[in-house]
Amino acid sequence: MRILVTGGAGFIGSNVAAKCLKQGHQVRILDNLSSGNRRNLEALPDAEFIQGDIRDMYKIRQASDGVDTIFHLAASVGNKRSIDYPIEDSEVNVIGTLRILEAAKAAKVRKLVFSSSAGIFGELKTLPIKEDHPVEPDSPYGASKLAAEKLCLSYSKLYPLECVCFRYFNVFGINQRYDAYGNVIPIFVDRALTNHVITIYGDGEQTRDFINVEDVAQANYDAAMSIGTRGAFNLGSAARISINKLAFLVKELSGSKVEIIHAPPRPGDVRHSLADISAAQRAFGFSPTVDFEQGLAAYIAWARNELDRKNA
């Protein structure tokens, strides 16, 4: 099978690309390297790489030519980034996705798997969250992901294009590098490994559903291979921990003596998060397999090696 992974030099995209290569497929990656990393590409020597932006229709058509399946992961990511740069957020996440869909339609692509976000839900009214939970995003990022998701689902109704939208909860794991706009785990791990204060915003009793990127890559692959599967699905671990507990585990597993402090809550952050994943289980057999603490320890070891390499 010929596969295109947009954002394939990034954290989740590189793991999806690796999964597809391991299964023997031809993989093409489209990435502008604004947040993707060339080191991720070095680990994927058998993948074809096209450097380009999903806002560039010429590059998109070049990348989608002859492919059967598209994993669309290229995005402007994060609540804070979207608050700081709301126009760029929508240009990439909404217009960029629309261009991908137009290219997929023209290329007669069979399946498109889109990386959405649990940020579409906003503050939660019930736990765990089912797919029919009200969607009231609290940030431009959540709003742009919701708009892109709706575009995918509408194209899936209008054309012979099977679209699957994954509402990611908090994904973590190998290839996730520190970014002040990014996920809390790489931020905490970087602070612990560099002996800088870990800052928790709010009282720390807010909870998150963390899922390892290995499980996310497997879900992407299984959904793509599942004939007839389409629609929007939650993708989480169906378990949650508090940010206070997370900070404690990072400190303990890294062997750090770093101080943990609290700061005022940040706008746009939800209080609690927990996925109901039963729909994905029914549709294509999704079942997370990576234990959280084991996955966190493996990520800390990877991040330590990355830091040592950088400082060598």
Tell me the CB-side half-sphere exposure of residue 238, using CA atoms within 13 A. Answer: 14
Quote the pLDDT of residue 183.
Answer: 85
Quote the pLDDT of residue 213.
Answer: 98
Render each residue's pLDDT in the chain as its tens digit; 312 residues: 999 999 999 999 999 999 999 999 999 999 999 988 999 999 999 999 999 999 999 999 999 999 999 999 999 988 788 989 999 999 999 999 999 999 999 999 999 999 999 999 988 889 999 999 999 998 999 999 999 999 999 999 999 999 999 999 999 999 998 875 568 999 999 999 999 999 999 999 999 999 999 999 999 999 999 999 999 999 999 999 999 999 999 999 999 999 999 999 987 678 899 999 999 999 999 999 999 999 999 999 999 999 998 887
Per DSSP, the residues of 53-69 read -TT-HHHHHHHHTT-SE
Domain parsing of the chain, residue ranges? 2-172+212-237+275-289
CA of 203: how far to CAs of 19, 127, 244, 297, in Å? 38, 20, 8, 25
List all residues 6 or more positions away from 60 whose beta carbon is below 8 Å from its beta carbon.
Answer: 30, 52, 54, 99, 100, 103
Alpha helices in the chain (DSSP H): 11-22, 38-42, 57-64, 79-84, 86-90, 96-106, 140-158, 184-193, 213-225, 243-254, 278-284, 292-311
Quote the pLDDT of residue 35.
Answer: 87
Quote the pLDDT of residue 311.
Answer: 86
- The answer to whether residues 176 and 10 touch, using CB atoms and an 8 Å cutoff, is no
Q: Which of 85, 141, 178, 299 is catalytic?
A: 141
Active-site annotation holds for 141:
yes
Quote the pLDDT of residue 305.
Answer: 95
| Angle formed at CA 25 by CA 24 and CA 30, multiple of 5 degrees | 135
Q: Which CATH superfamily is domain 2-172+212-237+275-289 in?
A: NAD(P)-binding Rossmann-like Domain (3.40.50.720)
CA quadruple 10, 48, 69, 278: dihedral, nearest 10 = -30
Rounded-to-integer distance, Cα 269 and Cα 226, Å: 34
Quote the pLDDT of residue 182.
Answer: 65
Phi/psi of residue 200, nearest 5 degrees: -105, 125
Quote the pLDDT of residue 18.
Answer: 98
Quote the pLDDT of residue 161.
Answer: 97
Beta bridge partners of 235: 168
Quote the pLDDT of residue 180.
Answer: 54
Q: Is 52 strand, coil or helix?
A: coil
CA quadruple 312, 7, 188, 116: dihedral, nearest 10 = -170
Rounded-to-integer distance, Cα 28 and Cα 5, Å: 6
- The answer to whether residues 272 and 207 touch, using CB atoms and an 8 Å cutoff, is yes
